[in-house]
C-alpha cells in the first residue's frame, strides 16, 4: 500500500530527538514501507495531506497530537484515503476516543493489523471538525488559552497577563438568548453561557463533555445549561474534566444530525479550537466521511494483557 507518514516534530512526545529513528525501526520490524514528511510552522499537515491525496496515496499516518490529526483530516475527508494514528501529543483525545494506545509500538501494530472503519465528521459552514464546536464563552476564552501556551514557552511568569485576560473575559461574559433548531423540527430558546456540539466523547484538556457520544452513529451531541449560574457552569466543567457524571436539572442534552443556531447578539464560534466566525451558524454531521484504522477486539485484548503483565512486574 502506498503510505505516507506525517510527523509533527513539535508534538509533546516528538520533542524526544530519538523518537523518529525508533519509530522508523518499528515500521521496519512490521515490514511497512513508508514515505516521511514533517509539518512546519507554515504547514500544519493539511497541505501535505492534500498533496498526498492528489498523488494517489492510499494511507496517511499521522504521528502527532490532536491538532495535527485534525489538520490532516480536513484534507482527506470524503476521500478513499485511510487514516492511521500514532498518538504523540499532550492530550491525545482522538486516539483515546478510538481506543488507540499511546504506546507507539502498539499503534503501529494497529496500522498493520487493524480494521478500517468509517466514522462521522462534523461540518460547520463548510469546515470539518472531529471533536467539538463551541459557541459563546468557551470560544471567547480560547484565544486567552492560546496566549497562555505561547507565553509559557518564554518563561514561567509570562503567562500571568494572559491568565488575567482570561479571567476578565470570564467574569464579563453574560448568558445570551439563543435559538436552536434541531433537524429542522424541534426548536429551543435557551439563555446560556455556551453551547457545545460534540462529535467525540472528549476534547481539549481531556474534557468528557459528551461521554456517551459515538463517532459512527450519524448524530452530533448538543450540550448546554439553561439559565445556569457561572458556578453551575464551572461545576459542570470540572466534573467533565474528571470524567465524572454531572446531574443537574438545568443541563440539557440532545442529539441531532443538523443544528441551526442563532443569537440576538453575534457570538464567537470555534471548531476544534480554531476560531471560525460568529453566529448564526449551521452545523451538520458528515456521516461516514473518514476512513480510519482502529484496533480489532483481538488487539485490544492483547494490549490489555500486556498492560496487566507490566503492572504485575512493576509491583514485584
Clarify whether residues 239 and 301 are in a common domain. no
Clarify whether residues 131 and 270 are in a common domain. yes
The answer to whether the CB of 188 falls within 8 A of the CB of 259 is no
If one counts the domains in the chain, the total is 2
Query: How far is residue 215's CA from residue 200's CA, in Å, rounded to a whole number?
Result: 6
Clarify whether residues 193 and 259 are in a common domain. yes
Which residues make Cβ contacts (< 8 Å) with residue 286, sequence separation at least 6? Answer: 77, 78, 120, 121, 122, 123, 128
pLDDT at 146 over 60: no
Which residues make Cβ contacts (< 8 Å) with residue 58, sequence separation at least 6? Answer: 1, 2, 3, 80, 81, 82
- How many other C-beta atoms can be found within 10 angstroms of the C-beta atom of residue 166? 19
Residues 9-66: tens digit of each pLDDT: 887 665 555 678 888 888 888 888 899 999 999 999 999 999 998 999 999 999 999 9
Q: Assess if residue 259 is contained within a domain.
A: yes
Clarify whether residues 230 and 300 are in a common domain. no
> What CATH number corresponds to the domain at position 273?
2.60.200.40
pLDDT at 157 over 50: no
Clarify whether residues 280 and 302 are in a common domain. no
The whole-model pTM stands at: 0.90
Q: Assess if residue 119 is contained within a domain.
A: no
Clarify whether residues 186 and 41 are in a common domain. no
85-93 average pLDDT score: 92
Which range, of 5-14, 147-156, 211-220, 295-304, averages the lowest pLDDT? 147-156
- pLDDT score of 161: 53
**What average pLDDT does the structure give for the chain?**
88
Clarify whether residues 241 and 306 are in a common domain. no
Clarify whether residues 181 and 105 are in a common domain. no
pLDDT at 174 over 70: yes
Q: Assess if residue 267 is contained within a domain.
A: yes
Q: What does the block give as the cell for 211? A: 461521554
- How many other C-beta atoms can be found within 10 angstroms of the C-beta atom of residue 301? 11
Clarify whether residues 281 and 304 are in a common domain. no
- pLDDT score of 162: 52
- pLDDT score of 278: 96
Q: Parallel, antiparallel, or unpaired for β 194-198 and 220-225?
A: antiparallel
> Across-strand partners of 253?
223
Clarify whether residues 179 and 258 are in a common domain. yes
Query: How far is residue 45's CA from residue 76's CA, in Å, rounded to a whole number?
Result: 11
217-239 average pLDDT score: 94
More confident residue, 243 or 155: 243
pLDDT at 310 over 90: no
Q: Assess if residue 156 is contained within a domain.
A: no
Q: Assess if residue 154 is contained within a domain.
A: no
Q: Parallel, antiparallel, or unpaired for β 35-38 and 3-7?
A: parallel
More confident residue, 145 or 82: 82
Q: Assess if residue 96 is contained within a domain.
A: yes
Residue 281 belongs to domain spanning: 127-135+174-287
Amino acid at each position: 500500500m502506498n503510505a505516507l507518514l506525517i510527523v509533527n516534530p513539535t508534538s509533546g512526545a516528538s520533542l524526544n530527538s530519538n523518537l523518529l529513528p525508533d519509530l522508523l525501526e518499528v515500521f521496519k520490524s512490521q515490514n511497512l514501507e513508508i514515505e516521511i514528511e514533517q509539518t512546519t510552522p507554515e504547514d500544519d499537515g493539511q497541505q501535505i495531506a492534500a498533496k498526498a491525496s492528489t498523488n494517489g496515496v492510499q494511507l496517511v499516518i499521522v504521528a502527532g497530537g490532536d491538532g495535527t490529526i485534525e489538520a490532516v483530516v480536513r484534507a482527506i475527508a470524503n476521500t478513499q484515503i485511510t487514516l492511521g494514528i500514532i498518538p504523540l501529543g499532550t492530550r491525545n483525545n482522538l486516539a483515546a476516543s478510538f481506543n488507540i494506545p499511546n504506546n507507539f509500538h502498539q499503534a503501529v501494530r494497529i496500522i498493520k493489523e487493524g480494521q478500517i472503519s468509517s466514522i462521522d465528521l462534523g461540518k460547520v459552514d463548510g469546515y470539518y471538525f472531529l471533536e467539538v464546536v463551541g459557541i459563546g464563552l468557551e470560544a471567547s476564552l480560547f484565544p486567552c488559552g492560546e496566549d497562555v501556551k505561547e507565553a509559557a514557552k518564554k518563561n514561567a511568569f509570562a503567562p500571568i497577563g494572559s491568565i488575567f485576560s482570561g479571567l476578565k473575559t470570564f467574569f464579563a461574559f453574560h448568558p445570551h438568548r439563543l435559538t436552536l433548531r434541531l433537524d429542522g423540527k424541534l426548536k429551543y430558546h435557551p439563555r446560556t453561557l455556551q453551547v457545545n456540539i460534540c462529535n467525540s466523547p472528549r476534547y481539549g484538556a481531556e474534557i468528557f463533555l459528551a461521554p456517551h457520544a459515538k463517532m459512527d452513529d450519524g448524530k452530533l451531541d448538543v450540550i448546554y445549561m439553561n439559565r445556569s449560574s457561572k458556578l453551575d457552569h464551572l461545576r459542570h466543567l470540572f466534573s467533565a474534566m474528571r470524567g465524572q457524571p454531572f446531574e443537574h436539572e438545568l443541563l440539557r442534552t440532545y442529539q441531532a444530525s443538523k443544528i441551526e443556531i442563532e443569537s440576538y447578539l453575534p457570538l464567537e464560534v470555534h471548531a476544534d479550537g480554531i476560531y471560525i466566525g460568529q453566529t448564526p451558524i449551521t452545523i451538520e454531521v458528515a456521516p461516514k466521511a473518514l476512513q480510519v484504522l482502529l484496533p480489532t477486539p483481538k488487539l485490544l485484548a492483547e494490549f490489555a494483557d500486556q498492560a496487566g503483565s507490566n503492572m504485575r512486574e512493576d509491583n514485584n
